[in-house]
Structure 1
Amino acid sequence: MFEHLTKFSYLRRLFGHAESRHLLLSVLVGLIAGSGAVAFYFTTNAVDHGLLKGFAGFHPPGEGVGTSAATMPMIASLAMEHRWFLFLLPALGGIVSGVLVYKFAPEAEGHGTDAAIDAFHNRGGLIRGRVPWIKALASVATIGTGGSAGREGPIAQIGAGFGSFLATRLRLSSSDRRILLLAGIAGGIGATFRAPLGGALFAVEVLYRDPEFEHEALIPCLISSIIAYSLFGAVTGWHPLLVTPHFVFENPSELFLYLLLGLLCGGLGKLYVRTFYSLRDFFRGLAMPSVFKPALGGILLGVLAMAVPQVLGSGYGYVQAALYGKMALWVMLVVALAKILATSLTIPSGGSGGVFAPSLVIGALLGGAFGAIALQLFPGLVSDPRSYVLVGMAGFFAGVSSTPIATLIMVSELTGNYALLAPLMLVCVVAMLAFRQNSIYEKQVRSRLDSPAHLGDFVVDVLEGLTVNDIADQGHAPTLIPENLTLPDILLRIARAEGAYYPVVNDAGVMTGIFSVNDIRRILDEEIPPGLVCAKDIAASQVVTCEVGDSMNDAMRKLASRGFEELPVVAGNEPGKVLFMLSRRSLLARYAKELEKKKGHYQGA
């Protein structure tokens, strides 16, 4: 399969081994995913800076190392400076996104992570080569003009698309293609959020709604994420995405409040998912060309932004302000709820972008508001109300994505703060369990058992442990034909014989060949005197046999692979001595019997 890659035997052996092949190719996938993340980062920033900041005069607070609590102004109202035509920009982005997506790659619609999940489960890991390019351009148009969407969906689809493309070009199996697809997701997410471990875990966890992992892809995902993160960090810097104060967790009694926050995150997450997909159904039902629907969503988003301009863009600056304690309680509540509506207008209408970033913002502001209220009600219990911003951010997304492990690690990495792991673990698990099957990723399946990608992995081998000797009583005695027996005598001997295959033996009774009824018919069609044709002239000398100690699975495989109806069974120490003939019908009858037995066992259990 890989001979066209290299003529050196060492590399051929290396590529022939699945684990080595995955490791080598995941490095390449990580390089491309990291490069795509860098290009996407600078392109979206350039469009955002030119249109939102430069043209429309919209300047949300910044995030990361360039900010500090001392210089961050207090956000006590929704008022912001901007030019009057700000509300038109999301519609402009919607027009560009709609034309790109619906004219060239309709599967690039919406949030790219869901499309990658669908490709894994239902398409054998196949993603069309043009999809990552269209997704990237459409997402730049959506995000750069203020759409309420994140970068992780497009980057996930870019990385996944390259992994799928690479596996297809190398003519790898569907299993290999799926693994490289996940490696691409891991690389894109790990780089974009500067979270290499979280990105790798997200890729293998996001496929399922139950707590399951695609464990076969974990190592390739780790390798790809490390490479992509290192490349992205070398170009853009190594600082965390968000800066946090020095949080500590030293009061176990506070876990009660975190438990309530987890329930609240799960409840609001259910509202978020319902709103998101209700508006998706609304836009799909509109009697207008799909190309213009993202523009309509953009217009409605622009109208909302006239009242709550904080809903535009990624919103990370407001998370940073909340982490510094620089947002009023009521502002956090209003922006969190408005962000749900803004995201549900941007992506379900056909806009292109991810749901991770908006979900983090919604959860962070919800957590900040909860922390501020908890401080007023339980001043002796709350150690730092700002810590609820970080925990809420993780809990909300874990609840709507069913990825508690990946989310708590990713939030810790993107903030550089690991001191709140215990509250993070509690809130993420509670939020996920509070409203099960409430996922923003509708292409997730419940478990590996429900994935078409693993359709054959869980079939019970009902013939396991059984040998050919166990079915000897269902075989039939062979009709042995001497080598020198002529055709007329052969016809007399087999007229009343059982079966359709006849072993040919020499004077010592050792099998030297075998023929079937069909072989007899072919001879009869030829103009040869029957008295001149003997058994050894008809028989095939290459005989496929099985021994009494062979497994029934091996016998079934031999019958199926050659299209035989019967096989001669020989003794292990005497390969020329035929003990009995084993038919396909006998094997299938035993298979059905064992299957019924196992069904009864499982039902009784």
Structure 2
Amino acid sequence: MPVVPGILKILDKTGFRLLILAVLVGIVAGTGALAFYFATNGVEHLMLGQLGNIHPPLEGRPESSFTQFINQLSMPFRWCLFLIPALGGIISGWLVYTYAPEAEGHGTDGAIEAFHRKGGTIRGRVPIIKTVASIVTIGTGGSAGREGPIAQIGAGFGSFVATKLGLSVRDRRILLIAGMAGGIGATFRSPLGGALFAVEVLYRDPEFEHEGLIPSIISSIIAYSLFGAVTGWKPLLTTPAFRFEKPGELLLYLALGVVCALCGVVYVKTFYGIRDGFRRLPVPNWIKPAIGGLGLGILAMFVPQVLGSGYGWVQAALYGKVALWVMLVIALAKILATSLTISSGGSGGVFAPSLVIGAMLGGTFGATAEILFPALTQDPRAYVLVGMAGFFAGVANAPVATLIMVSELTGNYSLLAPLMLVCVVAMLVMRKNTIYEKQVANRFESPAHLGDFVIDILEGIKVGDLAKKGRKATQIPESMPLPEILNRIATAKTAYYPVIDDNGLMTGIFSINDIRRILNEDIPPTLVIASDIATRSVISATPDEYLTSVMKKLTDRNLDEIPVVDQNVPQKVLFMLSRRTLLAHYAEQMEKTKEVYKE
């Protein structure tokens, strides 16, 4: 084992250490994505297909028979549908709240919190419990996606590797991001989108964790390649040959962006409102996902389209096979279904449900636009794809990653201009609205980067800049006896007192603690003079020094105050600078920087 750290040190000197580890993280993330994919499909086939006799349309299959699905609703055994999600909820709830309570809800938030507030640390058991619980939740019809669990699988392994190898907190955070990117890039067959999502979703403002971008790209490429080699290379969804050839149609897309933002607010408020309601229920936590599952099952008796990921219905809408009113009903019901599944404590991601909601909203908007503005609407089905991206970009505050991911998972890049417009508008209209409550506003607000800004601010300020905030030194002549010293310092505002010679130059310094030490000794006060009390080794600063240097001096010697001296005449005291003054000035500069950063 000692060989591994040695190799890593050599790689670190050449800048390749994190890149090599990103490859390893990508392999594990891709393998985890494959295991999760097949396990979820297997459980779903057993529970919904065999037991519930429900076979929704499939993604990537435009020829799927949607009429056949409707006919299934009158077939025998449909009455048990409302029990299947409840069964999944009780199993998932027991697993999560027994072994890893932090695995409840949508896993991406857990990874975001670990990055910002836990030094990139994720408990080893969390990804395992999250995986099993999510397989059960999604496989039994829960309205949840694969992005959250797979993000936590990859992030958890990245954290594990960094911890075992004794890497720094910074490196552990970067590998956590790389793990997220690998899992998401593989699951959604979106290598670039997965990498960008991992570095963008951490913040509410347009911000990227740029240090993690290259490792994320490498991890995502490896995971995507591994996943594609087993499952195939076709995009997750197929689309007609959409084209954007009417610039005037951008007005309609602009309106769609606003609609996505407003509906996103409804989604987030419903999601967290139901979560708060479940938290107030006077029942054990592990029972709550079962209650949410039961509510989902009852809803599915009336709107069965809410079961599972719902990608098949997006596929249907992309080919114009879903009626306007049906799309609107699915969008609203899916908001409620997702909230019942995940907000109750169930395990799964919010990415897939958000895409379905956005697709149905876009489809509804496009069909309505074709009725009201037929000359302006080129193809109402295109609004399904654009709405899918715009809605999630608005609730996740990740416009760049989302538009790339949607383009990759549909294999359609012809609508980039409308996608860019709608994603940006959806995010800007409701800036503070987010489905990921663990996001922070920007790097300035992240505890992970607090040290960066502390260093930046202190390095930019010189001691001389604080001259007006310094205090006039209370200087004591070397020959002054102790009784007179006590009278002079009685009204002084400083904590340390320079001792000066006949020329006014400092020869030493003492503090109030030094006087207490003398008073405790059996020496007549009149026989003690200032030079007897003073320390000859004086720690001082000059006006040209930066505050980083002064702060280090104060901290290393545990001083509360330091004399600032003339750099040409080191014994001439100009003023006294206290630790409190330095920190107050730092806090003031932090606030100013914060305001500028927000602008």
The TM-score range, normalised by the shorter chain, is 0.7 to 0.9
Inter-CA distance 213–75: structure 2 relative to 1 (3 Å threshold): farther
Query: 2:404 aligned to 409, 420, 426, which one?
Result: 409
1:440: which partner in 2? 435
Q: Give the TM-score of the pair, scaled to structure 2.
A: 0.82
Query: 2:238 aligned to 234, 238, 243, which one?
Result: 243
Tell me if 1:455 matches 2:454.
no
Query: 1:53 aligned to 39, 49, 59, which one?
Result: 49
1:5: which partner in 2? 4
Query: 1:186 aligned to 181, 186, 209, which one?
Result: 181
How far off is 1:300 after superposition? 1.7
How far off is 1:124 after superposition? 2.2
Q: Which runs of 5+ in 1 are unaligned?
A: 482-490, 504-512, 526-538
Contact between 2:57 and 2:312, CA under 8 Å: does it hold in 1?
yes
Q: Which runs of 5+ in 2 are unaligned?
A: 490-494, 500-507, 521-533
SS in 2 for 1:427: helix
Q: What do the CA deviations read for 1:396-438 (whole angstroms, capped 9, x no partner)?
A: 1112212111111110010010000111111112222333322
Whole-Å separation in 1 of the counterparts to 2:593 and 2:361: 50
Q: What do the CA deviations read for 1:11-40 (whole angstroms, capped 9, x no partner)?
A: 4243367x5433232222222111111110
Query: 2:28 aligned to 9, 24, 32, which one?
Result: 32
How far off is 1:101 after superposition? 0.5
Range with greater deviation from structure 2 (331-340 or 188-197)? 331-340
Inter-CA distance 436–500: structure 2 relative to 1 (3 Å threshold): closer
Q: Give the TM-score of the pair, scaled to structure 1.
A: 0.81
How far off is 1:462 after superposition? 5.4
Whole-Å separation in 1 of the counterparts to 2:573 and 2:71: 91
Whole-Å separation in 2 of the counterparts to 1:333 and 1:269: 14
Inter-CA distance 311–169: structure 2 relative to 1 (3 Å threshold): same
1:308: which partner in 2? 303
Tell me if 1:351 matches 2:343.
no
SS in 2 for 1:455: helix
1:531: which partner in 2? none
Counterpart residue type for residue 349 of structure 1: S
Range with greater deviation from structure 2 (119-128 or 411-420)? 119-128
Counterpart residue type for residue 387 of structure 1: A
Contact between 1:78 and 1:308, CA under 8 Å: does it hold in 2?
no
Whole-Å separation in 1 of the counterparts to 2:116 and 2:361: 33
Contact between 1:559 and 1:584, CA under 8 Å: does it hold in 2?
no
How far off is 1:256 after superposition? 1.7
Whole-Å separation in 2 of the counterparts to 1:375 and 1:602: 46
1:277: which partner in 2? 272
Q: What do the CA deviations read for 1:531-563 (whole angstroms, capped 9, x no partner)?
A: xxxxxxxx9999988788654532431342244
How far off is 1:264 after superposition? 1.9
Whole-Å separation in 1 of the counterparts to 2:42 and 2:402: 29
1:14: which partner in 2? 11
Q: What do the CA deviations read for 1:244-266 (whole angstroms, capped 9, x no partner)?
A: 11110000111122122222222
Aligned counterparts, 1:292-307, within 5 A: 292-307=287-302
How far off is 1:151 after superposition? 0.4
Range with greater deviation from structure 2 (394-403 or 150-159)? 394-403
Contact between 2:105 and 2:348, CA under 8 Å: does it hold in 1?
yes
Counterpart residue type for residue 11 of structure 2: L
Whole-Å separation in 2 of the counterparts to 1:603 and 1:246: 46
How far off is 1:598 after superposition? 10
Counterpart residue type for residue 391 of structure 2: F
Whole-Å separation in 2 of the counterparts to 1:600 and 1:266: 31
Whole-Å separation in 2 of the counterparts to 1:373 and 1:26: 47
Inter-CA distance 169–596: structure 2 relative to 1 (3 Å threshold): closer
2:313: which partner in 1? 318
Contact between 1:30 and 1:187, CA under 8 Å: does it hold in 2?
yes
Whole-Å separation in 1 of the counterparts to 2:265 and 2:300: 24
Inter-CA distance 603–265: structure 2 relative to 1 (3 Å threshold): closer
Query: 2:168 aligned to 164, 173, 188, which one?
Result: 173
1:72: which partner in 2? 64
Tell me if 1:135 matches 2:127.
no
Tell me if 1:115 matches 2:115.
no
Whole-Å separation in 1 of the counterparts to 2:589 and 2:344: 53
Inter-CA distance 466–410: structure 2 relative to 1 (3 Å threshold): same
SS in 2 for 1:354: coil
Identity %: 62
Whole-Å separation in 2 of the counterparts to 1:293 and 1:40: 24
Aligned counterparts, 1:585-604, within 5 A: 585=578
1:290: which partner in 2? 285
1:509: which partner in 2? none
Q: RMSD in angstroms over aligned alpha carbons?
A: 4.4
Tell me if 1:102 matches 2:101.
no
Whole-Å separation in 2 of the counterparts to 1:195 and 1:38: 15
Contact between 2:143 and 2:334, CA under 8 Å: does it hold in 1?
yes
